[in-house]
Structure 1
Amino acid sequence: MPTAHRPSLTQRRKAETQLEIARTAAALFAERGPGVTADEIARASGVALRTFYRYFRTKEDAVAPLLAVGVRQWIDDLAAATAGPDAPPARAALERAARRALTPTDERAAEALRWTRGLLRAMPDDPALRAVWHRVHHDSEEALRPVLARLTGAGRLQVRLAAAAANTAMRVAVEEWAAGDARADGPHGPAELVARGMRALTAGLPELDQRPDGRGDFGGAGQGAP
């Protein structure tokens, strides 16, 4: 696999600044709802309003980097999986990566989930904020497709269905957890919800049990890409 291009120092600093603003924006939205202004987010982040608008078009866009980090983590984890004959089938790799992404391993990860919960609770009163959430998931679904294509060798339709099912399981799990009061690391946390949702939504996709060489995990030959 080719080595990924490493972002420049300037790009990394820009991404870090955007993420720091996103954390501040998420905390403010979670605490005060849609009445938060871009000027308040900028001041709380320690940047000028002009700088804020250089990074984001709207105040709602400011939360996108934080949401994207959480949503994309599991795809990056999945992308690191091997596709060799000894590798687990995509179904198992999907569930494992999703569980890891939604299981907080330190205080910063737990805090990000708490902010996400606050944001999701504020979304019913803010269509623009809700649009950012769905846009992040749309982008993640598209990013998931080539990863699943590599891991399964399945055709285009099957890959699209698998990506849609897995991404929906992730989104619904976080939304359902956010609507309640369960701990993120408990038995009713998002990691358990996503595992249940993933199994239910992908049950009719045997392509997730096969590998690119057509070898299945169910005893028979799979149906690879045409």
Structure 2
Amino acid sequence: MPTAPHPEPRPRPSLTERRKAETQLEIARTAAALFAERGPGVTADEIARASGVALRTFYRYFRTKEDAVAPLLAVGVRQWIDDLAAMTAGPDAPPVREALEAAARRALTPAGEPAAEALRWTRGLLRAMPGDPGLRAVWHRVHHDSEEALRPVLARLTGADPLAVRLAAAAANTAMRVAVEEWAAGEERPDGPHGPGELVVRGMRALTAGLPELNKCHK
């Protein structure tokens, strides 16, 4: 079956858009650190002051205090989908299943202290979620958006029918979410043998075992 052409590269954001994204991400890091340290009692005013912005500016970017953590969570999502697309480009690309596992492991295995710190913030956020429905809603929204973004990539790579593509995207996304949640509930190091990078491969294999479409090599 012929595959669809490679998608056009995404246009580079304008300087204004990049500055806005950088500001949002900086506020998100601050918010995540505060939630991880103090739980759901953190206020929007405290996040704004710790970020060095006015409360009015905070609300220009985010509707609620919980929304402030979404950019931090979304960065990893975008990166692992971009990595998947890069791994499957070219004549020597591995099967889609293998590329999915490799991209997921890389996304959840910190390559340095900033990435490890981001995972620790995520652990703190997940531990604060039982007391904050707003945080839980943001977490699930980010993963819903991840699944939606993954579907066209898998459709292009596999040429499978819409149901198979949807099942594959749901399985891969669920493996990512459960791996982080399971790791966050314990005390394991993020880069150890029981870190999220290893857990996600285990989950990916279990959840995608019945999807032969992922054995395809994209050309």
When the two structures are superposed, what TM-score results if normalisation uses the length of structure 1? Answer: 0.89
Q: 2-side partners of 1:163 and 1:50: how far apart?
A: 38
How far residue 86 of structure 1 moved from its aligned partner, in angstroms, is: 3.5
How far residue 81 of structure 1 moved from its aligned partner, in angstroms, is: 3.0
> RMSD across aligned C-alpha pairs, in angstroms?
2.7
Contact 1:83/1:151 (<8 A) preserved:
no
Residues 135-192 of structure 1 show CA distances to partners (whole Å, capped at 9, x for unaligned) of 0000000000011011111111000000000000000000000000000010000000
- Please tell me whether residue 61 in structure 1 is matched to residue 73 in structure 2: no
Matched residue SS, 1:80: helix
Contact 1:38/1:58 (<8 A) preserved:
yes
How far residue 76 of structure 1 moved from its aligned partner, in angstroms, is: 1.2
How far residue 71 of structure 1 moved from its aligned partner, in angstroms, is: 2.4
Q: Which runs of 5+ in 2 are unaligned?
A: 5-11
How far residue 84 of structure 1 moved from its aligned partner, in angstroms, is: 5.4
Give the match for residue 106 of structure 1: 112
Matched residue SS, 2:87: coil
How far residue 61 of structure 1 moved from its aligned partner, in angstroms, is: 0.1
Structure 1 residues 1-226: aligned runs within 5 Å = 6-82=12-88, 86-209=92-215
When the two structures are superposed, what TM-score results if normalisation uses the length of structure 2? Answer: 0.91
Matched residue SS, 2:99: helix
Residues 27-54 of structure 1 show CA distances to partners (whole Å, capped at 9, x for unaligned) of 0001111110000000000000000000
Residues 185-220 of structure 1 show CA distances to partners (whole Å, capped at 9, x for unaligned) of 1000000000000000000000000xxxxxxxxxxx
Shift of the 208–107 alpha-carbon distance from structure 1 to 2, 3 Å rule, reads: same
What is the identity percentage for the equivalent residue pairs of Structure 1 and Structure 2? Answer: 91
Q: 2-side partners of 1:18 and 1:72: how far apart?
A: 15
How far residue 82 of structure 1 moved from its aligned partner, in angstroms, is: 3.1
Shift of the 197–49 alpha-carbon distance from structure 1 to 2, 3 Å rule, reads: same
Paired residues, number: 208
